[in-house]
């Protein structure tokens, strides 16, 4: 077969093959066209989605900017409201001072002389004062928050009879280690690691302890409540005595860990407590610091309910209660053991606290100020005093 014939046969075969592939090519062209349409639609949708997303983002950014502006406005409004509330509190205090509601006070009470291992004897008489102290509170002149140290409950105090400036810290309502700082500055600036420590032979209970005349008087609970007299100089127990009262209950309604609160004033040492026999009101006793004996005991008219702490000044018990406003406490009941305070001289005193309830308030008769422990914050209240108007 010559070359021309072979070429003709190959041409005929190629033409025949091309005719058979034509439907397949047309099908592929249609599919490609459909894919191109879908790709075009996807591009259009993607563009729309991108545009919608940009628009949404811009709206969100605008909302966030407006929210930040409103937040600043709310913060400013809250600050203004706090200023107005504080101003209103001061005005209310002033109005109440001008028109005071008479606190719960009783001058002549039933006196109970109770000695260890002897029967109780009750009679009406007044406490015979040891000093010529005749002051009562006129107002809280200043408040200073020193720092936050330790637990929500505790106490801090100084020895009113000592020449040193030592600060004693009792962290918690149950512990056996006392922190001691040489001065107020060290306490304010230093950490607990830099404080001296005194390890007590027995753990204390409550926050009703006091440092007086170089000794620590604190409460221990075993089967009964005991008053422990501990010498801070030689670190030994000098004396101890069972508190001569049965069926004791917490003395303050807002401080359930306090059964006995020892207080110091110009007259010496006192014990504030409560019993199941008189479970609605607080009791007061005069303590002999040398023998730990109870010299005299009184039932006061001051209720336990809503009480958070108390202190004694010149033989008068001042009980502090929680006011309706969470930012302050108020002296709402006064009991004058000496009977020298007249009904017209009863103080209306607010303590401008800012945290919780006072777990302790220790009056220092030398400095005329109170060392308070408020939800872990150590606070000093400087008192203004005036002479009592005697009966």
* Alpha helix stretches (DSSP H) within the chain: 3-98, 184-189
More confident residue, 260 or 279: 260
- At residue 352, the pLDDT reads 80
Residue 300 contacts residue 270 (beta carbons within 8 Å): no
> Is the CATH code 2.120.10 the one for domain 109-387?
yes
Residue 266 contacts residue 365 (beta carbons within 8 Å): yes
DSSP helix, strand, coil percent of the chain (3-state; round to 5): 30, 40, 30
Tokens of 104: 């719960």
Instruction: Grade residue 108 by pLDDT with cuts at 50, 70 and 90.
Output: very low
* Cα of 245 vs its chain's centroid, Å: 31
* pLDDT above 70 for 319: yes
Q: How far apart are CA 318 and CA 42, in angstroms?
A: 83
* pLDDT above 90 for 219: yes
* pLDDT above 60 for 12: no
Q: Chain-wide mean pLDDT for the chain?
A: 82
pLDDT > 70 fraction of the chain, expressed in percent and rounded: 81
- At residue 91, the pLDDT reads 64
Q: How far apart are CA 88 and CA 16, in angstroms?
A: 107
Q: How far apart are CA 272 and CA 252, in angstroms?
A: 10
* pLDDT above 50 for 109: no
Range from 108-122, 123-137, 315-329 carrying the lowest mean pLDDT? 108-122
Q: Select from 227, 267, 372 the least CA-distant residue to 309.
A: 372
Q: How far apart are CA 257 and CA 207, in angstroms?
A: 8
Q: How far apart are CA 278 and CA 322, in angstroms?
A: 21
- At residue 116, the pLDDT reads 37
Contacts of 264 by beta carbon, 8 Å cutoff, 6+ apart:
160, 210, 212, 270, 312, 362, 363, 364, 365
pLDDT > 90 fraction of the chain, expressed in percent and rounded: 47
Instruction: Grade residue 192 by pLDDT with cuts at 50, 70 and 90.
Output: confident
Per-residue pLDDT of 72-91, as tens digits, reads 888 888 888 877 776 776 66
Average pLDDT for 166-180: 95
Range from 176-185, 245-254, 324-333 carrying the lowest mean pLDDT? 324-333
Q: Select from 132, 242, 219 the least CA-distant residue to 173.
A: 219
- At residue 37, the pLDDT reads 83
Range from 22-26, 144-148, 364-368 carrying the lowest mean pLDDT? 22-26
The 3-state DSSP class for residue 224 equals coil
* pLDDT above 70 for 15: no
Residue 288 contacts residue 295 (beta carbons within 8 Å): yes
Kindly report the pTM of this predicted structure.
Answer: 0.71
Q: How far apart are CA 323 and CA 311, in angstroms?
A: 17
- At residue 106, the pLDDT reads 44
Q: How far apart are CA 359 and CA 373, in angstroms?
A: 6
* Cα of 11 vs its chain's centroid, Å: 106
* pLDDT above 50 for 193: yes
Q: How far apart are CA 225 and CA 207, in angstroms?
A: 14
Question: Which range has the top average pLDDT, 3-12, 41-50, 191-200, 368-377?
Answer: 368-377
Instruction: Grade residue 324 by pLDDT with cuts at 50, 70 and 90.
Output: low
More confident residue, 122 or 82: 82
What is the CB neighbour count within 10 angstroms for residue 232?
Answer: 18
What is the CB neighbour count within 10 angstroms for residue 387?
Answer: 12
Tokens of 386: 């005036």
Range from 131-135, 220-224, 305-309, 387-391 carrying the lowest mean pLDDT? 387-391
More confident residue, 129 or 106: 129
Residue 122 contacts residue 347 (beta carbons within 8 Å): no
Tokens of 230: 């501990």
């Amino acid at each position: 077969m010559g070359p021309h014939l072979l070429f003709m046969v190959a041409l005929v075969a190629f033409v025949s093959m091309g005719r058979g592939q034509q439907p397949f090519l047309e099908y592929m062209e249609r599919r490609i066209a459909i894919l191109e349409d879908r790709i075009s639609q996807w591009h259009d949708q993607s563009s729309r989605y991108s545009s919608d997303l940009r628009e949404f983002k811009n709206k969100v950014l605008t909302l966030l900017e407006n929210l930040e502006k409103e937040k600043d406005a709310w913060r400013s409004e809250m600050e203004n409201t706090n200023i107005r509330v504080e101003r209103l509190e001061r005005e209310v205090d002033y109005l109440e001072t001008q028109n005071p509601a008479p606190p719960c006070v009783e001058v002549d009470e039933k006196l109970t002389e109770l000695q260890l291992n002897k029967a109780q004897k009750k009679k009406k008489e007044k406490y015979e004062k040891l000093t010529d102290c005749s002051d009562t509170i006129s107002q809280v002149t200043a408040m200073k928050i020193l720092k936050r140290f330790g637990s929500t409950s505790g106490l801090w105090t100084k020895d009113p009879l000592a020449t040193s400036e030592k600060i004693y810290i009792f962290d918690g309502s149950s512990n056996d280690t006392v922190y001691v700082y040489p001065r107020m500055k060290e306490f304010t600036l230093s950490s607990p690691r830099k404080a001296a420590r005194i390890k007590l032979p027995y753990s204390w209970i409550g926050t009703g302890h006091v440092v007086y005349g170089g000794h620590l008087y604190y409460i221990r609970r075993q089967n009964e409540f005991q008053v422990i007299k501990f010498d801070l100089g030689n670190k030994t127990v000098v004396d101890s005595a069972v508190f001569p009262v049965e069926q004791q209950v917490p003395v303050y309604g807002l401080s359930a860990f306090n059964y006995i609160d020892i207080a110091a004033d110009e007259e010496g040492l006192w014990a504030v407590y409560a019993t199941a026999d008189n479970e609605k009101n607080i009791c007061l006793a005069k303590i002999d610091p040398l023998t730990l004996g109870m010299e005299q005991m009184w039932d006061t008219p001051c209720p336990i309910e809503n009480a958070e702490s108390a202190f004694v000044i010149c033989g008068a018990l001042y009980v502090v209660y929680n006011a309706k406003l969470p930012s302050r406490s108020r002296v709402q009941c006064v009991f004058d053991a000496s009977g020298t305070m007249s009904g017209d001289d009863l103080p209306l005193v607010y303590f401008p606290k800012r945290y919780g309830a006072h777990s302790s308030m220790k009056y220092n008769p030398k400095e005329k100020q109170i060392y308070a422990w408020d939800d872990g914050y150590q606070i000093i209240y400087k008192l203004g005093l005036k002479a009592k108007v005697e009966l």
